[in-house]
Structure 1
Amino acid sequence: MEKAQSGTIAGDERPELAGALLWVEEKKVHDIVAPNLDRLARELLVQEAALAQCWKHGGRAFMTDLGEILPDDPEDPMRAAMRQMMGVFAQLDRGMTVAKLRRGRRIKGEKGQYAYGAPPYGRTRPTGRRPYAHASGSS
């Protein structure tokens, strides 16, 4: 079973996904399972490559929200098109979220505020900055 890892990590930085696909190739497992396509991969290219690798070796792919993701069928080009459109929108959503966070951090930094979330446990935030805003709205 693959340990939880963000779907936003590039495919070549996801050793668990590569390992799962290797198990399919080696016939140690027959199927891969993910909550949905955008958790399998948020980049269309990675998503399509993972599915193609799985199918190439006789494996099947299941998403808990969609069921089995069937291999491409030349008699049904809509199958691939709709799957790829979902992948395009997952990649767009990721890009929009990253852009929004960058913009927010930049604007917060321009105002002299600390813009990078809570520091790691046991560390303090950089000095010379405004304190964190609390959920109650006070600083």
Structure 2
Amino acid sequence: MGGKTGKSTIDERDGLMEAMEWIVDRRADGVLVPHLDRLARELTVQEAVLAYTWALGGRVFTADHGEHLEGDDPMRTAMRQMRRVFHQLDRGLICKRLRDGGATKGEQGGYANGAPA
């Protein structure tokens, strides 16, 4: 199933929506992804995808943590969300460093972004 990046919202991701249809039609029991940031990069979107999948009666599995259970132990839920917060922070810091580095290189007369003119 092809889809868009994990950065997109739920309804913009054709592959994810197709997977949800499979759960509704009982052609699939759930979804399996390598890790939760492949499901969604932002915490709020990730939690929405999890809740939506569970509401449809589906299950969510990741290769790195196994099954993510609805109504799981509050500590496990908090740790899942904290991992996502720090992954989101890391991604933001990487983007900031890239922007800052490009700006600095451009200020110094260097080639910083896009294809050379």
In the superposition, the TM-score normalised over structure 1's length comes to 0.73
Relative to structure 1, the CA distance from residue 14 to residue 94 in structure 2 (aligned partners, 3 Å threshold; closer, same or farther) is farther
Paired residues, number: 116
Instruction: Answer whether contact 1:25 1:54 (CA < 8 A) is retained.
Output: no
Give the CA deviation at 1:5: 4.8
Question: Which structure has the highest helix share of the two?
Answer: 2
| Superposed structure 1 runs of 4+ greater than 6 Å apart | none
CA distance in 1, matches of 2:15, 2:34: 15
Tell me what 2:92 maps to: 95
| Deviations, residues 12-59 of structure 1 (Å, cap 9, x unaligned) | 543322332233233332111111012221100110011111111111
**Equivalence map 1:50-61=2 (5 Å):** 50-61=49-60
Percent identity between the aligned chains? 49
Report which stretch shifted further, 15-24 or 76-85. 15-24
User: Does 1:108 find its partner at 2:105?
Assistant: yes
Instruction: Answer whether contact 1:54 1:61 (CA < 8 A) is retained.
Output: yes
Relative to structure 1, the CA distance from residue 106 to residue 11 in structure 2 (aligned partners, 3 Å threshold; closer, same or farther) is same
Relative to structure 1, the CA distance from residue 25 to residue 94 in structure 2 (aligned partners, 3 Å threshold; closer, same or farther) is farther
CA distance in 1, matches of 2:71, 2:26: 21
Give the CA deviation at 1:4: 6.6
Extract unaligned runs of 5+ from structure 2. Answer: none
CA distance in 2, matches of 1:67, 1:55: 15
Instruction: Answer whether contact 1:42 1:94 (CA < 8 A) is retained.
Output: no
Extract unaligned runs of 5+ from structure 1. Answer: 120-124, 127-139
SS in 1 for 2:112: coil
In the superposition, the TM-score normalised over structure 2's length comes to 0.85
SS in 1 for 2:45: helix
